Structure 1
Amino acid sequence: MPHTRAIRAHMIQSYDGTEWQVFVALPDEARWPTVPFPLTDGIPTLRARTNALATLGYALLDGEHTWDWMETVFEGDPDGTVSLVATTTVAPTHPTADDT
């Protein structure tokens, strides 16, 4: 893959707790396209997440299937409900001049 700007991809549970969402955090974009997975299907596999990223036009930067997991509290949640968040580094599969 050519030199490209690294971007962070995330997988979170939706705010209403009904699905997992895979998305790429794009600077200067108000809304990010997501790929949803029903919560009832369990945590999406590495392959499912990789396929979701490909659907969004991204690939894992280093070709490895590594995701970092962390716990966070939903912002503004008075009960302090903990959410799991997974992140990895990706790059566009078709970089533009701005990405190189």
Structure 2
Amino acid sequence: MAAGTYTAQMSVSRWAGRWRLYVALLGEPSSQWPEYEFDGDVVPTVAARSRALNKLGYAFTDGPEWTWTEDSAVPDDAASPVLLIASATVREAGP
């Protein structure tokens, strides 16, 4: 990852059932990471994700391209519900 870039991730909160977007700041506790929670349980559009990132003070580096990864709620359990996690490279937005 280039200097001055960060990873934004989006996943469904298991507790609230809503999509949340956050920017992972290495070296900082996750409780300090900028976070945005979307209304409803529908996957947010790319435009909605972009607006949320802007509200957090970040912007995409090379366009709004997201990579999706599957994870599981219970590791090593093939019957566990699938968790989808999206990620994109972002940078701090200018003034």
- TM-score, with length taken from structure 1: 0.78
Going from structure 1 to structure 2, the CA distance change for 1:56 and 1:85 (only over 3 Å counts) comes to same
Structure 1: 4+ residue segments shifted above 6 A:
none
Which residue number in structure 1 is paired with residue 50 of structure 2?
Answer: 50
Letter in 1 for 2:25: L
How many corresponding residue pairs? 91
RMSD over aligned Cα atoms: 2.4
Aligned position for 2:7: 8
User: Tell me, which stretches of 5 or more residues in structure 2 are unaligned?
Assistant: none
1:50-69 matches, cutoff 5 A: 50-62=50-62, 64-69=63-68
Q: 1:39 maps to what in 2? A: 40
TM superposition score normalised by structure 2: 0.81
Report the identity percentage.
35
SS at match of 2:47: helix
Name the SS for the 1:44 alignment partner: coil
CA 1:57–1:77 in 2, change beyond 3 Å: closer, same or farther? Answer: farther
* Mapped contact 1:9–1:87 kept (Cα < 8 A): yes
CA distance in 1 between counterparts of 2:21 and 2:85 reads 10
Matched residue SS, 1:39: coil
SS at match of 1:84: strand
Shift of 1:37: 1.1
